[in-house]
């Protein structure tokens, strides 16, 4: 088995890159031959690379580090490609949010109209990345993909490039596990969870702490306090008011549907009216991210350009970085660690379609994920997931066939859009706003 790897971060200009590099270098068990950043936006990536160079200097100054916008160079003989592209960047995230909100619907990055618009933008750039990896990377490359909307990327790439070595992941379930560990006052490594769902739409059915079932204890806590405890307030994500509110909202979902512990993203599906009344078109989440996470990165790059020193502590990305690094480590060294990842259903959830892409626990081997079976799920959960799965399926088919009518069906099917009239209005406006990015729909 290979021991040393060429790792490429695709979407090198991402706000997460410095933090992810920090986690990569701190994981001493992962031996890196070369680290590359690859992006299509040279100017942005070069800025982020300035910070990354400082991170490298502080942890592993001898590392071979390269930055490129040329796929044949960056991806050549790559072993692991950590993908985190945001097609259309934060500017388009904000446009999605505003268009949806203007029509009285939830404006969100991965759910509802915003998620569908972002999906339409991302399908073909991700297919292109796969084709580039097939051409240039090592034959047993792995793309470990964070690029959102991960659910739609997973579905589309499974349909268009079924043999591609891509594993789609999301940090939300592990982020929730971190909150659970804080509530219980234990280490996240002590927890083992059972979980089923689509990406962002899933439920924890059981939580064990060092083998002991702590599900009821957690449910009681979450009903009362959401995913929050005193210890949570030390976490950078929880200190963000928007996320604080999200972790609180989980309590309401838990009280309404006490069977399982919810993924926080159900708030957009189940508490749409609350979310809408909390939304402000002049202060969308995308705008907040531009003002905070993106500004922090651009400011640090500017300070370095001016020859100033920067504080590297600010680039800690918490669970987000640790999770993708642990997935890469498992695939690299066949650690068989148990992780929640997105895989083709193929009977895992017995009463959901075979070709749904589901998020479930899997043991990660060097050959890929070996998921555990879930069995049948109750009608309420099945119905919610079938509707979302049908919506995502129609959206992907619309992109592949260039079909306006399927896109309209997808928008109408989505639970956050109340009527076909509104679906059409939003879709038509999205088509106009996304001319540069979407496949043509006829
Ligand atoms: P960002 O806008 O700061 O960075 C994204 C980078 O991607 C930009 O530098 C952009 O130029 C680049 N890019 C765009 N199209 C590209 C292409 N075709 N090839 C290569 N690079 C391309 O975004 P961010 O806020 O840092 O987020 C990065 C990504 O991570 C987003 O897709 C976001 O949704 C995703 N994300 C996913 C999870 C998850 O749970 N799956 C969690 C957090 C973030
Ligand atoms: C979580 C989700 C991601 C999503 C991110 C948005 O991490 O799992 O899929 O991209 O939240 O966070 P932001 O801070 O950009 O709103
Ligand atoms: Mn996610």
Q: Along the chain (442 residues), what's the average pLDDT of each consecutive run of 10 residues?
A: 95 98 95 98 98 97 98 98 98 98 98 98 98 98 98 98 98 98 98 98 98 98 97 91 97 98 98 97 98 98 98 91 98 97 98 98 98 98 98 98 98 98 98 98 98
Based on the residue annotation, tell me whether 242 is a catalytic residue of this protein: no
- Residue ranges near ligand 3 (ion) with Cβ within 5 Å: 170, 172
The pLDDT value given to residue 93: 98
The pLDDT value given to residue 146: 98
Residue 415 burial (CB < 10 Å; 0-12/13-18/19+)? Answer: middle
Axis crossing angle, helix 404-413 with helix 112-136, rounded to the nearest 10: 120
Determine the distance from the C-alpha atom of residue 263 to the mean position of all C-alpha atoms in its chain, rounded to a whole number: 13
> Is 10 annotated as ligand-binding?
no
Strand partners, 37: 9, 67
Question: Which member of 16, 146, 201, 265 is catalytic?
Answer: 265
The pLDDT value given to residue 316: 83
The pLDDT value given to residue 433: 98
Cis peptide before 149 (omega within 30 of 0): yes
Question: Which member of 16, 171, 260, 381 is catalytic?
Answer: 171
CA of 174 to the centre of ligand 3 (A): 10
Residue 289 near ligand 2, beta carbon < 6 Å? yes
The pLDDT value given to residue 263: 98
The owner of tokens 């999205």 is 430
> Is 133 annotated as ligand-binding?
no
The pLDDT value given to residue 317: 82
The pLDDT value given to residue 236: 87
Based on the residue annotation, tell me whether 213 is a catalytic residue of this protein: no
The pLDDT value given to residue 384: 98
* Contact predicate 145/385, CB 8 Å: no
Residue 359 near ligand 2, beta carbon < 6 Å? no
């Amino acid at each position: 088995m290979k021991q040393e790897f060429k790792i490429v971060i695709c979407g090198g200009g991402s706000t997460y890159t410095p933090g992810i590099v920090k986690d990569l270098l701190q994981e001493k068990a992962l031996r890196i031959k070369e680290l590359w950043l690859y992006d299509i936006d040279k100017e942005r990536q070069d800025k982020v690379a300035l910070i990354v160079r400082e991170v490298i200097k502080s942890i592993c100054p001898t590392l071979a580090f390269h930055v490129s916008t040329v796929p044949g160079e960056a991806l050549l003989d790559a072993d692991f490609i950590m993908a985190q592209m945001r097609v259309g960047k934060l500017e388009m995230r904000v446009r999605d949010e505003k268009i949806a909100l203007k029509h009285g619907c939830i404006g969100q990055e991965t759910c509802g109209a915003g998620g569908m618009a972002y999906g339409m933008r991302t399908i073909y750039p991700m297919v292109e990345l796969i084709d580039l990896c097939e051409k240039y990377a090592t034959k047993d490359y792995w793309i470990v993909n964070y690029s959102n909307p991960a659910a739609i990327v997973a579905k589309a790439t499974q349909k268009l490039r079924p043999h591609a070595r891509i594993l789609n992941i999301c940090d939300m379930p592990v982020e929730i596990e971190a909150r659970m560990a804080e509530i219980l006052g234990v280490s996240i490594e002590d927890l083992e969870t059972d979980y089923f769902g689509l990406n962002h739409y899933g439920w924890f059915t059981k939580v064990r702490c060092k083998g002991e079932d702590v599900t009821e204890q957690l449910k009681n806590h979450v009903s009362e306090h959401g995913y929050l405890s005193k210890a949570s307030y030390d976490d950078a994500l929880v200190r963000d008011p928007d996320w604080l509110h999200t972790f609180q909202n989980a309590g309401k979902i838990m009280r309404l549907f006490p069977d399982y512990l919810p993924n926080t993203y159900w708030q957009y599906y189940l508490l749409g009216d609350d979310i809408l009344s909390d939304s402000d078109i002049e202060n969308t989440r995308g705008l907040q991210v531009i003002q905070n996470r993106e500004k922090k990165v651009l400011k640090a790059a500017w300070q370095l350009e001016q020859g100033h020193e920067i504080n590297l502590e600010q680039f800690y990305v918490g669970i987000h970085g640790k999770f993708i690094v642990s997935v890469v480590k498992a695939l690299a060294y066949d650690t068989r660690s148990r992780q929640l990842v997105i895989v083709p259903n193929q009977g895992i959830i017995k009463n959901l379609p075979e070709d749904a892409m589901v998020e479930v626990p899997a043991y990660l081997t060097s050959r890929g994920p070996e998921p555990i079976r879930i069995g049948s799920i109750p009608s309420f959960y099945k119905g919610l997931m079938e509707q979302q799965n049908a919506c995502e399926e129609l959206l992907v088919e619309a992109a592949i066939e260039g079909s306006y009518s399927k896109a309209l069906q997808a928008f109408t099917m989505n639970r956050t859009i109340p009527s076909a009239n509104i679906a059409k209005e939003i879709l038509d406006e999205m088509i106009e706003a996304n001319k540069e990015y979407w496949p043509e729909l006829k």
